Amino acid sequence: MRTMAIIKRILRQLRRDKRSMALMIVAPLFILTLMWLVLDGDTYVPEIAVVDLPSSIVKSLDEQEAEIRHIPEQEAREKLQNKELDAMITWEESKPEVLLEGSDPTANGAVQKVLQQAMKEKAAKPVPEPELKFLHGSEELNLFDNTGPVLIGFFVFFFVFIVGGVSFLRERTQGTLERLLSTPLKRWEIVFGYLGGFGLFTIVQSIIIAAFSIYVLNMYMSGEFWYVMLITFLLAMAALSLGTLLSAYANNEFQMMQFIPLVIVPQVFFSGIFNLETMEPWLRAIGKVMPLTYGGEALRDIMIRGKGFAVFSNEVYILIGFTILFITLNILALKRHRTL
Amino acid sequence: MATVIELDHIAHSFGSESVIKGINMTVDKGEIFGLLGPSGAGKTTLVKIIVGILKPSEGSAIVLGTPMPSLEQMKKIGFMAQSDALYSELSGRENLDFFATIYGLSKLQRKQRIQEVLQVVDLTSEIDKPVEKFSGGMKRRLSLAASILHQPEVLILDEPTVGIDPVLRQSIWEELNVLKEKGATIILTTHVMDEAEKCDRLALLRDGYVIAQGTPKSLKQGIGVTTIEEAFLHYGGAVQ
């Protein structure tokens, strides 16, 4: 009943604090929408200048998805300098030579792809076009779909960490924690009250964020919606227990913010937004102690690969394990304020 | 009279810094006992030991026959901290309702007790406003109300009248006397000398030591002075 009283109080406080509520719900939607606008765009169409190329090559280049400009070399070089062109192709000793603008990897890649395609079609015996089949995902799967599941998990983790951590910190700085500890309330009752209050709020938060991403922004989704809920909820619990634990080591809100570059940002690198395969094994091991690594992996299994519980059950248990660890440490950390 | 609080050779230190040194003291049922001393004398630490938030490094604190800290005894103790310790987003009533639930009062009891304590501290009209809109004095009164919701046998107040105007201070003292009449034992800390005169008994604290204790009258008469202030200076000087 005393835990219930804390849950009720936290939900009331959240309802009064419209700004924090907006931060936890509107901010993720806003950033996801921006991500969608940026990452979900069409494929890059490079602008290429051709100088004195054999007409057959120009013809097959024209058929590619690229804007081909026929201009003199001098003008093309100037335009490359001004970043108005992505590449210039000239004919040197019976083979083409390509000068890339070079500062943008996306543009470089696009130019090379166009060239390869054009040369292949020009070859004497055209290689038969391979038929592509997808085990998971589809041809349409782009960067937004690929990183989206991790982003959903990340936003829930980040905002619950901050808001939960700061509210627990304020409980200490405004003296209410000491006041609570002067009552027969047990330490675990306070911690579970926090988990309950923010847990309930997080369920609503995750439903809104996931539903918006999947149904409004059309993020690729081939699994069960409630699995997504399960993982985001577990991530939120890990974030909340970690945030309240770390708040014990911050003296004010500003010091709480200082945990972001230390605790939150490194998790992003290992969460699967960037490909981990190319990393050194010892470096990859760092990711093993981070909750977001497991949350991100499970969310991709569900949303992109459409897997069932058996596939991501390990991740679920590990996330629960993290939460139990942080809760235990938190209850022990409260001993600093009351030994009993 | 029955002894409610018994402090036996209490000493406490934070790390290597010793804050309280060898304090012996008893408080009887139904008295208002004052802890008087300058800031840094160890009043708040001593109070936290009695409440059960701190476990003393040495010695024992016995409240109503049980050594502290004890969760069971905490139900019988009311505590008003130096800071107001209220949730500013919530209304006054919601704050009281929260603390009453923590103390395990049923819904009906809560409604009834909230009404009663609001009358005691005279806050009935503005109780549904959020606490962030309260004045300093109103917050102090709400804090007091929150500490007496569960009808504690022992009420411990840390600087209850600091930063409060004389009229309100007067009314808080009236409330304390009413609670005393009902049989509550009250311990309060203060550094205001004239307030100390209103206590039944006093302990003068300085640098973690009790330099003198007794009724205000006996403290003054014993050394032939007319104010507590003079008495404090006299005893403080004697220690040095």
A-B C-beta contacts closer than 8 Å:
80
| pLDDT (mean) for B91-118 | 89
DSSP code at position A289: G
For residues A134-163, one letter each, b for 16 or more C-beta atoms within 10 angstroms of the residue's C-beta and e for the rest, the string is eeebeeeebebbbbbbbbbbbbbbbbbbbb
DSSP string, A132-144: P--SSS-TT--HH
CB A335 within 8 A of CB A250: no
Q: Cβ–Cβ of A13/B89 closer than 8 Å? A: yes
A133 contacts chain B (CB < 8 A) = no
Q: Is the pLDDT of residue B237 over 70?
A: no
**pLDDT digit string (tens) for B8-46?**
888 888 878 888 888 888 888 889 888 888 877 888 888
Q: What is the DSSP string of A304-338?
A: TT---HHHHHHHHHHHHHHHHHHHHHHHHHGGGT-
How many Cα atoms within 13 Å fall on the side-chain side of residue B95? 29
Out of A175, A181, A184, name the one closest to residue B83 (CB): A175
Confidence (pLDDT) at A68: 87
Smallest Cβ–Cβ distance between A174 and the set B75, B85, B103 belongs to: B85
* DSSP codes joined into one string, B108-162: HHHHHHHHHHHHHHT-GGGTTSBGGGS-HHHHHHHHHHHHHTT--SEEEEESTTT
Q: According to the model, what pLDDT value does residue B239 have?
A: 44
Q: Which residue of A has its CA nearest to B90?
A: A13
Instruction: State residue A240's pLDDT score.
Output: 92
Tell me which residues of chain A, numbers 26 to 65, contact chain B at a CB-CB cutoff of 8 Å. none
More confident residue, B101 or A121: B101
Question: With the CA atoms of A15, A18, A21 and A26 taken in that order, what torsion angle do they form, in degrees rounded to the nearest 10?
Answer: 140
Q: Which of B30, B43, B132, B144 is nearest to B90 (CA)?
A: B132
Residue B69: asked if its preceding bond is cis (omega within 30°), the reply is yes
Q: Does A203 touch chain B (CB under 8 A)?
A: no
Whether chain B has a CB inside 8 Å of the CB on A175: the answer is: yes
Which pLDDT score is estimated for A126? 63
Looking at residue A243, its pLDDT comes to 92
Answer yes or no: are the C-beta atoms of A226 and A244 closer than 8 Å.
no
CA–CA separation, A147 vs A300, rounded Å? 8
How confident is the model over A134-172, as pLDDT tens digits? 888 777 777 888 888 888 899 889 988 998 899 899 888
Q: What is the pLDDT of residue A72?
A: 87
Which tens digits make up the pLDDT trace of A235-276? Answer: 999 999 999 999 988 888 899 899 999 888 888 888 877 777
Three-state DSSP state, B36: strand
Which pLDDT score, from 0 to 100, does residue A30 have? 92
pLDDT reported for residue A7: 93
User: Which chain B residues are within 8 Å of A184, Cβ to Cβ?
Assistant: 71-72, 74-75, 102-104
In this structure, the strands spanning B209-214 and B66-67 are unpaired
Q: Measuring CA to CA, which residue among A200, A225, A205, A226 is closest to residue A215?
A: A225
Q: Is A13 on the interface with B (CB under 8 A)?
A: yes
A contact test, residue of B79, B86, B102, B144 with most A CBs within 10 A: B102
Report the pLDDT value the prediction gives residue B127, as an integer from 0 to 100.
87
ipTM of the complex: 0.85
Residue A330: which of A253, A238, A262 has the closest Cα? A238
Closest chain A residue to the Cα of B70, Cα to Cα = A340
Low-confidence ranges of chain A (pLDDT < 50): none
Question: Mind telling me how many Å the CA of B82 is from chain A's nearest CA?
Answer: 9
Q: Are A302 and A149 in contact (CB under 8 A)?
A: yes
Percent of chain B with pLDDT over 90: 5
Query: What whole-number distance in Å separates Cα of residue B37 and Cα of residue B203?
Result: 8
d(CA B141, CA B160): 9
Q: State the Rg of chain A over Cα.
A: 27
For residues B67-74, give the mean pLDDT.
Answer: 83
Residue contact A174–B104, C-beta within 8 A:
no
From A13, A337, A338, residue closest to B87, measured CB to CB = A13
Which pLDDT belongs to residue B240? 41
Mutate to test the interface with B, among A3, A7, A9 (most CBs of B within 10 A): A9
Distance from CA of B235 to the nearest CA of A (A): 33
Residue of A nearest to B68 (CA): A340
Burial class of residue A188, CB neighbours in 10 A (0-12, 13-18, 19+) = middle
Instruction: Report the number of secondary-structure helices (H) and strands (E) in chain B.
Output: 9, 10
- The reported pTM is 0.82
Q: Given pLDDT bands bounded at 50, 70 and 90, which one contains residue B1?
A: low
Mean pLDDT, to the nearest integer, of B206-230?
79
* pLDDT computed for residue A231 by the predictor: 92
| CATH 3.40.190.10 placement within chain A | 47-122
| Closest Cβ–Cβ partner in A2, A17, A339 for B89 | A17
Which residue's structure tokens are 């139900």? B75
Q: Which CATH class is domain A47-122?
A: alpha beta
Asked if A13 lies within 8 A of B54 by C-beta distance, the reply is no
* Phi, psi of B18, deg, nearest 5: -85, 120
Interface of B with A (CB under 8 A): 51-55, 69-72, 74-75, 77, 79, 81-90, 94, 98-99, 101-104, 130, 146
For helices A187-211 and A143-173, angle between their N-to-C axes, nearest 10 degrees: 150
What distance in Å separates the CA atoms of residue B176 and residue B174, rounded to the nearest whole number? 5
Chain B interface disruption, residue of A176, A187, A188, A194, most B CBs within 10 A: A176
CA distance B167 to chain A (A): 26
Is pLDDT at B238 greater than 60 in this prediction? no
User: Given this model, what pLDDT does residue B19 score?
Assistant: 82
Domain assignments of chain B as residue spans, ordered by start: 3-76+153-239, 86-151
- CB-nearest partner of A5 from B51, B71, B101: B101
Q: Which CATH number fits domain B3-76+153-239: 3.20.20.60, 3.30.450.40, 3.40.50.300, 3.40.50.1260?
A: 3.40.50.300
Query: Which residues on A lie below 8 Å from B84 (Cβ)?
Result: 175
Closest-CA residue of A relative to B48 is A182
User: What span, in angstroms and rounded, lies between the C-alpha atoms of A57 and B94?
Assistant: 79
| Cα gap A300→A222, rounded to integer Å | 10
Q: What span, in angstroms and rounded, lies between the C-alpha atoms of A231 and A298? A: 7
More confident of the two residues B170 and A126: B170
Q: How confident is the model at residue B229 (pLDDT cuts 50, 70, 90)?
A: confident
Q: pLDDT at residue B94 above 70?
A: yes
- Give the H/E segment covering residue A49: strand A47-51
**pLDDT the model gives residue A53:** 81
* pLDDT at residue A124, as a whole number: 63
